[in-house]
Chain A
Amino acid sequence: MATVTAGSAIPNALASGRLPKWAPWALLGASWVAAIIVFALLTAGAHSDFNIVGAILVGTIAFDVLLVVLSRLVEGARQATNRLVTSLVSTAFIVALLPLVSLLYTVIAKGLARFDIEFFTYSMRNVVGAGGGALHAIVGTLLITLGATIISVPVGLLTSIYLVEYGRGSLARAITFFVDVMTGIPSIVAGLFAVAFFSLILGDPGIRFGFGGSVALSLLMIPTVVRSSEEMLRIVPNELREAAYALGVPKWLTILKVVLPTSVAGIATGVTLAISRVIGETAPLLLICGYATSMNTNLFANRMMTLPVFVYSQYAQPGTPQQPYFDRAWTAALTLILIVMALNLIARLIARIFSPKLGR
């Protein structure tokens, strides 16, 4: 009877030739610590600032190289390649987060300087240097976006109804294809179109007014509305429609009373996301709405300021001293981001609260 003496455990054939699970993490920690120590020694010698980002970066690169070498020695070439790709893929993710973190940090840090009551209650009328606010720009943004929504939602929703409920054949295919192509129209081209259109129709080559911005934005918004509503209408179960037909309900009433109410939450979510997409558009509004320093609540006459254009103009045409202008630009940027985030949040809440409850 063979006995196994304690102390010399049988090597597991499946686990041999593999690095233990904790090895990569230990290696990562060790490389970071080593890099930080090296950087600390170097900075102490050179009397310069300690660069934590650089230390982590160098440590990570050292970790990648070490892990591949170690894995190649212990596990062979195939596993080494696998580990290399794993670390590259994770690094790509971290790299993409850096600008996001930097951007959000900067916008919040610099934007808070002027995030005060005055900013939200004053326009820039007769303001030179410090002070003033963006009330006229906020009102302009809301009005123009409202105009764009009023144009886009009926057109987009009806088109998606056509595509889902009626559309067969080449017209539906053409609409689907061109709606997809429309999502790629550069925003500045939409602005140029609005300028070209209204200056020809109204015979004023230098035309600037708010409603033109609404038209330009709706050109960008309609494809998003069509796509999202189309998806929502398609997931309405066919049984619901057939049940309505079986009761003798006409098709148009079935759509209005059965299909739309079922999908209204999803459609509202899609519309909100579409609004959040166009509310930050700058280029078309720069062309067709122009700059203004005063409040203008009439969409159909005179120049109209919007929040994105406000950011651009405060940065691009600063007076002296420059700092108050840059401060206002950053605060407006912060306001814009807050509005976009709020819209995204509302969209998710709508989706969560009003979506049809399936099952009990």
Chain B
Amino acid sequence: MTTTAGPRPRAKVRLADVLFSGTARVAGILILVALAAVAIFLLAQALPALVADPADYGSHAANFLGYVLPLVFGTIWAAFLAVLIAFPISMGIALFISHYAPRRLAQGLGYIIDLLAAVPSVVFGLWGVQVLAPAVKPLYAWLADHLGWIFLFAPPASGTGRTVLTVAVVLAVMIIPIITSISREIFLQTPVLHQEAALALGATRWEMIRMAVLPFGRSGIVSATMLGLGRALGETLVVAMVLSPKDFISFVLTSSNNTATIAGNIALNFPEASGIGVNALIATGLVLFVITLAINSVARYVVNRRKAFSGAN
């Protein structure tokens, strides 16, 4: 034996390597710290409002819970209506682009829908209040006259068209590109062999989509919808510009008595708020943060789980 069992050769540790990887790691950790800081600082500023008397910030509710509950209801109600409108349309568009439109046109059509996502929300708000609201006013009057016995359309109808239904329509337009782009990607990932097998068995195009494409994309559709919901929950300017909110719970779609949303309430009252009023608004913001965080986490969890098992990547 001539070889000696010396130490294994080790790569030289370079200072620059350590510095560079360290910097990259710090940047990554910084993101986690930032997210934690958002929660901590919001909580720190919200605490005074949680124990204060609501009369101090201009609310006649018994406690903070009574102040925030109508806002939570308004937020979820408007976002729910928006998703209700946006979901079928988005599915239609996504299928149209992925399976119906001629291949050559499809990408261009996708760009057009993405164009909707590029419009700033304040412009949507301006459009909603100055174009859409006057346009739908007669429709609301008609609904209140003829379907007023349904609690959703109880008269009197709004004289301005600035109702929660108008808000929901504008929000729907804003979240359609989000739901569409994610579902479209997932529909396009459907294994071609599945689709061809269905067609070869004599399925019509719709039967092929129902049997091969939709089951494959189900979890993707769910999470895309939840991401859209998250966006609708946090949307501020449209609500602030279109609604003139009240602080009680109302299910009526077509009247001018509408429940405020958390984000809209903050935008309307923050510029004039002072002292404990600022803390109260921050506390409502914290509630919104928790709601959207929960919804987004679930949506991402569903997407990631699907990614691991589908074999599409």
A interface residues with partner B (beta carbon < 8 Å): 78-79, 81-82, 85-86, 88-93, 95-97, 99-100, 102-103, 106-107, 154-156, 158-159, 161-163, 165-167, 171-172, 174-175, 177-190, 192-193, 195-197, 199-200, 205-206, 219, 222, 226, 250-253, 255, 276, 279-283, 286-287, 290-291, 308, 311-312, 315-316, 326, 329-330, 333, 336-337, 340-341, 344
Contact = CB atoms under 8 A, between A and B. Distances in A.
B266 interface: yes
A202 B25 CA distance: 29
Interface string B288-309: 1100110111011000100000
Given A162-B21, A163-B28, 9 more contacts: A86-B100, A89-B100, A91-B92, A175-B31, A178-B32, A180-B300, A181-B35, A192-B285, A326-B130
A102 B126 CA distance: 12
B298 to A, nearest CB: 10
A79 to B, nearest CB: 6
Nearest to B100: A89
B204 A280 contact: no
Contacts of B101: 93
A60 to B, nearest CB: 14
Contact of A184 (B30, B91, B227, B278): B227
Contact of A252 (B20, B45, B132, B263): B20
9 contacts: A89-B96, A91-B92, A100-B115, A162-B25, A171-B28, A184-B299, A195-B45, A316-B241, A337-B119
B127 A102 contact: yes
Nearest to B113: A96
A51 to B, nearest CB: 12
A82 B206 contact: yes
B234 interface: yes
Chain B binding surface, main DSSP class: helix
Contacts of B230: 184, 186
Residue with the greatest number of chain A CB neighbours at <10 A, chosen from B90, B180, B236: B236
B38 interface: yes
8 nearest CB pairs, A to B:
A186-B234, A92-B92, A280-B120, A158-B27, A184-B296, A252-B20, A162-B24, A82-B204
B222 interface: no
A322 to B, nearest CB: 11
B206 A166 contact: no
Interface string B89-127: 111110111001100000001001101101111111111
B16 interface: yes
A283 B270 CA distance: 11
A79 B289 contact: no
Given A102-B131, A337-B123, A166 B241 contact: no
B24 A280 contact: no
B31 A178 contact: yes
Contacts of A206: 274
B28 A159 contact: yes
A335 to B, nearest CB: 10
Contact of A196 (B30, B41, B122, B227): B41
B51 interface: no
Contacts of B91: 92
Nearest to A273: B118
B44 interface: yes
A154 B20 CA distance: 13
Interface of B: 14, 16-17, 19-21, 23-32, 34-35, 37-38, 41-42, 44-45, 88-93, 95-97, 100-101, 109, 112-113, 115-116, 118-127, 129-132, 173, 176, 180, 204-207, 209, 227, 230-231, 233-237, 240-241, 263, 266-267, 270-271, 274-275, 278, 281-282, 285, 288-289, 292-293, 295-297, 299-300, 304
B127 A255 contact: no
A205 B132 CA distance: 38
A278 to B, nearest CB: 10
B111 to A, nearest CB: 9
B24 A158 contact: yes
B205 A86 contact: yes
Contacts of A156: 27
Nearest to B118: A340
A193 B237 contact: no
Contacts of A155: 27, 30-31
Contacts of A315: 125-126, 129, 241
Contacts of A287: 266-267, 270
A93 B97 CA distance: 9
Nearest to B46: A196
Contacts of A312: 122, 125, 237, 240-241
A163 B25 CA distance: 9
A108 B90 CA distance: 26
A186 B261 CA distance: 13
A175 B95 CA distance: 33
A166 B25 contact: yes
A184 B304 CA distance: 16
Contacts of B116: 96, 99-100
Residue with the greatest number of chain B CB neighbours at <10 A, chosen from A163, A165, A250, A290: A250
B42 A283 contact: no
A78 B281 CA distance: 56
B166 to A, nearest CB: 12
Nearest to B231: A184
A34 B42 CA distance: 61
A305 to B, nearest CB: 13
Given A162-B27, A184-B295, A286-B270, A89 B288 contact: no
B53 to A, nearest CB: 19
A99 to B, nearest CB: 5
B267 A286 contact: yes
Contacts of A252: 14, 16-17, 19-21
